[in-house]
Structure 1
Amino acid sequence: MAYDEGMAQMLRDDLADHPFREQKMFGGIAFMLAGNMVCGAYSGGAMFRVGKDRMAAALALPGVAQMMMGGRPMSVMAECSPETAADDGLRGALMRLALDCVAELPPKVAKARKTR
């Protein structure tokens, strides 16, 4: 599953003022702050970690749905189509929800890789 590089670049630009890092995930690319996923680009569009408390606000935005993985709803992740994500206002609203969510999470320390 490939992701749209243009979508990924929009997310990079949105996060330019934050010390994010990129990580391949879910067949796409995820953007992490302090080890926690904020958002990502994948073949279906964009995903945002809005958290349970902000999910209703995210779902109130046009074109936004709760993300499904393996047929199951992800309680903390919202998704939108490439067309919705291309709207600066909608993407910005989702990004604010995601950044607020991640700001409340403790930083994750990278685990040491196992050696064989």
Structure 2
Amino acid sequence: MAYNEELVKRIRNAITIFPEDFTEKKMFGGVAFLYQGKMTVGPVKNDLMVRVIGSKMDTFLQQEFVRPMDFTGKPMKEFIFVSPEGFKTEEQLQHWIELGLEHAKSKLK
């Protein structure tokens, strides 16, 4: 399954502003960006996969260009897809990366 290489480049560039170290791992037919072994974000085809803290899922699912991640045919817990219109700007992409990082850090506590 192909994924958007340009989005991978944008994510690599965007995470350079964080003091945290991210790693990359091939997953879901794309590349997942991990923080301390926990998934944060990654491209799946042309969409952006984002991990979200469970208590915030309903809020984000109400936003335009966001839908549940249904990679397996049913929604996956604490995962969303953001369509390309939802991360056109670097500021929008940064927002989603921060959300994914927040989720990863919440799993380390």
Alignment TM-score > 0.5, same fold: yes
After superposition, the CA RMSD in angstroms is 1.7
Give 1:59's aligned residue: 61
Give 1:43's aligned residue: 45
The structure whose Rg is larger is: 1
Query: How many equivalent pairs are there?
Result: 107
Identity percentage of aligned residues: 30
| TM-score (structure 2 length as normaliser) | 0.86
Alignment partners' CA distance in 2, 1:34 and 1:24: 15
Structure 2's unaligned 5+ residue stretches are none
User: Which of the pair is proportionally richer in strand?
Assistant: 1
Q: Is the 8 A contact 1:58 1:94 kept in 2?
A: no
Give 1:76's aligned residue: 78
**Cα distance, 1:101 vs structure 2:** 1.3
Query: After superposition, what is the alpha-carbon deviation per residue over 1:19-63, rounded to whole angstroms, capped at 9, x for unaligned?
Result: 001100011000010000001112141100012112123223321
User: Which of the pair is proportionally richer in helix?
Assistant: 2
Q: Secondary structure at the match of 2:108?
A: coil
Structure 1's unaligned 5+ residue stretches are 108-116
Alignment partners' CA distance in 1, 2:73 and 2:24: 26
Q: Residue 86 of structure 1: which of 71, 85, 88 is its match?
A: 88
1:94-109 equivalences under 5 Å are 94-106=96-108
- Runs (4+) of structure 1 exceeding 6 A deviation are none
